[in-house]
Amino acid sequence: MMTTDPEKAREVSEAFMPIAERAMQSHYKAHVLAIAPNTPQVVFCNTPIKGLGDLQGKKVRASGRTTAEFLSAIGAQSTVMAFNEVPGALERGVIDCAVTGSLSGYNSGWQDVADYLLPLPIGGWDTVITAVSDDTWNSLDDETKRTIESQIVPGFIDPVWNNLAKDEQQGIACLTGHGECEHGKPGDMTLAAVTDADRERAHQALVSAVLPSWASRIDDETISLWNENVAPLVALPIVK
């Protein structure tokens, strides 16, 4: 969770592009077309919470490896399970909380089995890399490539980022009933206020645990790309 601001999140995603391109080419022989987000990954709980500190000791379903590392760093018991297993696990008390996108949770009915919502994007902005295999890309003629490259930003990337703030607000409104829900019947989850103390604790977990763990899994060239492109935006250089 490097930023809670959508505009800054886009800057970070764009700065991350050289790293994504190198990784996708190296591991998958794929050509990156776009990096775009989903709604922020927030916390749903079936037990009372008032802030990030209340997750300590609770069993929390993580939305991925990095989120799991973050949860462990703040003292939660992170676990991984399939998205469609979460409502039943929350209802039966197998887990106390779960992390996913606000609108994804609403559309899947998580508001019916969870009572408390912490809208701090601890799972980040769930950015998704859109790529095409080199074989497919190289099979296209130059005109088709130019058309895709000229349209991918105005036709796909811009609309997603431009709608992000509204989607974030709609997720909260639809889950809690605080504001008009344009997607259906709103839930009545209790909204926990995000405090500066929560943001600072999240930042410390990122600095002390999440970023060092990722740095241990990447090579020196990736670290250089991070320090050159991303670190200046978020004041988080990697030092090995």
Return the CATH number of 6-234, one of 3.40.190.170, 3.40.50.300, 3.40.50.2300, 3.40.50.10860.
Answer: 3.40.190.170
pLDDT over 70 at 173, yes or no: yes
Query: Could you tell me which of 29, 195, 21, 168 has the C-alpha nearest to residue 106?
Result: 168
**Full-model pTM:** 0.91
Mean pLDDT, the chain, rounded, equals: 94
What are the DSSP E strand ranges found in the chain? 30-36, 41-45, 59-62, 77-80, 97-101, 116-118, 128-133, 190-191
Query: Could you tell me which of 109, 106, 124, 93 has the C-alpha nearest to residue 174?
Result: 106
pLDDT digits (tens, 9 = 90+) for 203-218: 999 999 999 999 999 9
Average pLDDT over residues 42-50: 96
- Residue 60: phi and psi, rounded to 5, are -125, 125
CB 95 within 8 A of CB 60: yes
pLDDT digits (tens, 9 = 90+) for 77-120: 999 899 999 999 999 999 999 999 999 999 999 999 999 999 99
CB 127 within 8 A of CB 14: no
pLDDT for 1: 64
Domain ranges of the chain: 6-234
Query: Cα 138 to the chain's mean position, in Å?
Result: 31
Residue with tokens 């700065």: 15
Query: How far apart, in whole angstroms, are the C-alpha atoms of residue 214 and residue 94?
Result: 29
Query: How far apart, in whole angstroms, are the C-alpha atoms of residue 226 and residue 20?
Result: 11
pLDDT digits (tens, 9 = 90+) for 5-34: 888 999 999 999 999 999 999 999 999 999
Query: Could you tell me which of 121, 97, 61 has the C-alpha nearest to residue 189?
Result: 97
Q: Which residues contact 32 (CB under 8 A, 6 or more apart)?
A: 17, 20, 21, 24, 129, 130, 131
pLDDT for 183: 95
pLDDT for 6: 85
Q: Which residues contact 28 (CB under 8 A, 6 or more apart)?
A: 131, 133
CB 112 within 8 A of CB 184: no
CB 74 within 8 A of CB 11: no
Query: How far apart, in whole angstroms, are the C-alpha atoms of residue 36 and residue 171?
Result: 18
Query: How far apart, in whole angstroms, are the C-alpha atoms of residue 97 and residue 116?
Result: 9
